[in-house]
Amino acid sequence: MTQHDEAFLADWAVQSAFGAVAGTHGVDREAATAPDGEQRRWFAELLESRGFTVQRDAIGNQFGLLELVPGAPYVLTGSHMDSQPTAGRFDGAYGVMASAHACFRVADELRADPASARFNLAVVNWFNEEGSRFKPSMMGSGVFTGKLSLEAALATEDRGGVTVVEALDALGERGNFEGLDVASYAEIHVQQGRSMEQDGVTIGLVDATWAAHKFEFKITGEQAHSGSTLMSDRRDALLGAARLIVAVRELVDEFEQGMLHSACGEIDVYPNSPVVVASQVKLLLDFRSPSEDVLKAAYTSLMATVEKVQHEDRVGIEIIAEHSWDRNPYSEPGVELAREVAEQLGLSNDRVLTVAGHDSTNMKDKVPTVMLFVPSVDGVSHNLDEFTREEDLIDGLHQLTGVVRRLAEGALVA
C-alpha cells in the first residue's frame, strides 16, 4: 500500500467518526443535522489544507475547487456525506472521500505535468442525497441541475417543521456560490446489491439505472372508537394502508424473479392512538424494475387494488405525489473510458445496473458522466452493518483517480 493509500485510509477513519452510532460500525448523519455540519467543517479544512477553495451554493452543496488552468471548466467528482438514520458508513461518504483523494493525486500529477491539464478539478459533497429528513432525495444535485426548484427545496420541512433553509443556516452551510462550468462528472459508490461480490468483480461500470415509479398515497377514513364502533360502520385508513402494503409485496411474485422490487418504508398515521380508528394515513410506496413493461403492468395491478380497497373498506385513496423514471442509460463513452482505466490498472470489471438512484443520475443528463461501483459485502445497505473491504476501497480509489486524470486531460469532451 502506498503512502497515498495510507493517507486516504487515515482520513477515512476520521470521517467515519462523525455521527458514529456507539457500539456499531455505522453512522446516523441525516442531512443538515449537527454531525453533518461537523463533518462538513472538517471536510472543508481538509480540502483547504490541500490548496482547494471551499464554496457552498444556495442549497448547501459543498464544493472544493482547484484551478490549474485559469478560466477553464472543471472536472467535478463527488457524492454525498449525509446518511439514512442508523446507516452504514460507506454509502455516499466513500464517494466523497475517494473523490477528494483522487483529486489530490491528480492535482499533484498535473502540477508536475501542466501541459497535460485541460480542465480544473472540483470535489463536491452534494446536500441531502438520502431524502430521509427532507424529501425528495438527491435534493442538492437536483437543484444544481435545474431539475428541482431552489425555492421549493429550501421551503421543505422535516417532521418537526424545520425547513431546509433553517437547518442549513443553523450550520452556516448555505452559501452564495453561483456554480461552476462543469466539463464532466465522475462518481464512485458502494454497490447497494450483491451481484458484484457474487461475480467476483472489483469495479462496476454502471451503464444504466433501473426504471422506477414512486408514489405517495393519502388514505382517508374516519375517526371512530376502535372498540365500540360497529365493524361495518368503520372506515379505517390504517387498514386500507395495510392492504396496499401487502398488495405491493404480493405483486412481486406475479413477475419473474428479480424483475420487480417493491417497498413501503414510510407511513404516517393520524391520530395514531390505541383506541381510535385512524382517519388518515400517508404512505410512500415504490416499484423498481429493469423493465419498463414490468413497471407498467405493476402499476395497472396496483390501481386495481386501489379501486378494490376503496370500495370494500370504504376509504378514500389518492395519489398525492408521484414521480417515475424510465430505464436510463449512462453514456456509452463514459462506460468505455472506465473500462479502459480498469483494464490498465488490472482490475476486474463488468457492466452493472444500478437499482438505487445516485447524484450521478441527475448529472448524467447534463454532462458526460462516469459512474463506478465497488462491491459491498452481502449487499447490505441502509444498515449499520454495511461493509466494504479495505482492498476494494483502495482499488476503487485507484480506479476513480485514473478516470479523473483522463477527464482532466479532456476525455469525453469534444
Tell me which residues in 233-262 interact with a copy of itself (CB under 8 A).
Answer: 233, 236, 238-239, 241-243, 245-246, 249, 252, 257-258, 260-262
CA distance 327 to 125: 26
Q: How far is the CB of 359 from a copy of itself (least distance, A)?
A: 14
Of 15, 331, 360, 381, the one binding a copy of itself (CB under 8 A) is 381
Note whether 208 binds a copy of itself by CB under 8 A: no
> Which one of 48-56, 170-178, 210-218, 330-338 is the stretch in contact with a copy of itself (CB under 8 A)?
210-218
Of the pair 34, 246, the CB lying nearest a copy of itself is at 246
CA distance 173 to 206: 31
The DSSP secondary structure of 41-59, one letter per residue, reads HHHHHHHHHTTPEEEEBTT
Of the pair 28, 67, the CB lying nearest a copy of itself is at 28
Strand spans (E) along 88-191: 120-126, 182-190
Cβ–Cβ < 8 Å for 61, 111: no
Identity at 334, one-letter amino acid code: G
**Total number of residues that touch a copy of itself (CB under 8 A):** 71
Note whether 86 binds a copy of itself by CB under 8 A: yes
Of 31, 205, 211, 212, the one binding a copy of itself (CB under 8 A) is 212
Of the pair 380, 413, the CB lying nearest a copy of itself is at 380
Note whether 333 binds a copy of itself by CB under 8 A: no
Nearest to 323 by CA among 191, 158, 137: 137
Q: Which of residues 119-138 bind a copy of itself (CB under 8 A)?
A: 130-132, 135, 137
Binding residues for Zn(2+): 80, 91, 130, 189, 382
Of the pair 20, 263, the CB lying nearest a copy of itself is at 263
Note whether 269 binds a copy of itself by CB under 8 A: yes
Grid coordinates given for 303: 390501481
Binding residues: 80, 91, 130, 189, 382
Cβ–Cβ < 8 Å for 105, 23: no
What's CA 11's distance to the chain center, in Å? 22
Q: Which of residues 22-81 bind a copy of itself (CB under 8 A)?
A: none
Q: How far is the CB of 402 from a copy of itself (least distance, A)?
A: 26
Of 20, 356, 377, 413, the one binding a copy of itself (CB under 8 A) is 356
Q: How far is the CB of 233 from a copy of itself (least distance, A)?
A: 7
Of the pair 91, 392, the CB lying nearest a copy of itself is at 91
Residue whose C-alpha cell reads 456509452 in the numeric block: 332
Q: How far is the CB of 132 from a copy of itself (least distance, A)?
A: 4
Is beta strand 62-66 parallel, antiparallel or unpaired with respect to 53-56?
A: antiparallel
Continuous H helices in 314-389: 332-345, 359-363
Q: Which of residues 163-182 bind a copy of itself (CB under 8 A)?
A: none
Note whether 84 binds a copy of itself by CB under 8 A: yes
Of the pair 56, 214, the CB lying nearest a copy of itself is at 214
Identity at 386, one-letter amino acid code: E
Q: How far is the CB of 244 from a copy of itself (least distance, A)?
A: 8
User: CB-based contacts of 4: which residues, under 8 Å, 6+ apart?
Assistant: 101, 104, 105
Cβ–Cβ < 8 Å for 264, 244: yes
CA distance 243 to 257: 23
Q: Which of residues 384-403 bind a copy of itself (CB under 8 A)?
A: 384
Longest dimension (CA), the chain: 82
Read off the DSSP letter of residue 385. Answer: T
User: CB-based contacts of 357: which residues, under 8 Å, 6+ apart?
Assistant: 137, 138, 209, 212
Q: How far is the CB of 389 from a copy of itself (least distance, A)?
A: 19
CA distance 191 to 352: 9
Cβ–Cβ < 8 Å for 27, 130: no
Note whether 286 binds a copy of itself by CB under 8 A: yes
Note whether 226 binds a copy of itself by CB under 8 A: yes
Of 115, 275, 300, 414, the one binding a copy of itself (CB under 8 A) is 275
Of the pair 3, 232, the CB lying nearest a copy of itself is at 232
